[in-house]
Amino acid sequence: MTGEYTEVFVPSLISNQDESNALGCFSSEELAWDVLKTHLRSDLQEQYSSASIVKWILDVPGEEGFEIQTSLNCRECPACRRRTFWIDFDSSKGQCHQVACLAWIEEKSDEEVHYGWPPVQFSGQTETLSDAMKMLHEKASEADAAGM
């Protein structure tokens, strides 16, 4: 792909040892997200603690030359209990990137949080993110007890 760009998008992963791993430099945020999501689904994902996409504006020096588009933190998934649940606290959204799980949460308003766990066709809504995480954890405990 050729052409002139005024901005580029750089997805990065931060390891549990605080080492940064840039995943490339892309002409669109959509491409950067695609690459980042692919890495979040990989077998090596549990070695990372955070991820981000940074927009760099070309030919602009200093702090005005970049903007953090998204910042994700990795947590233990309340459903599958693997360290594969990535949360964007700015947008109050989270999703497990373990292909067999895909549990998710999303804050719709200050008092409405939706959540779900597709493999067991479970979804609902509650008032807080912590309550949503608790509900997913409880459903996973029920599934474990039932031998699922």
pLDDT at residue 2 is higher than 60: no
The DSSP code sequence of 47-59 is: GEEEEEEEEEETT
3-state secondary structure of 103: coil
Indicate the average pLDDT of the chain.
90
Q: What is the pLDDT of residue 89?
A: 84
- Would you kindly state where each structural domain of the chain is located, as residue ranges? 1-73, 76-148
The first and second tokens of residue 108, run together, are 């719709």
Band (144; pLDDT cuts 50, 70, 90): confident
- SS3 assignment, position 12: strand
Please give the Cα distance from 139 to 47 (Å, whole number): 26
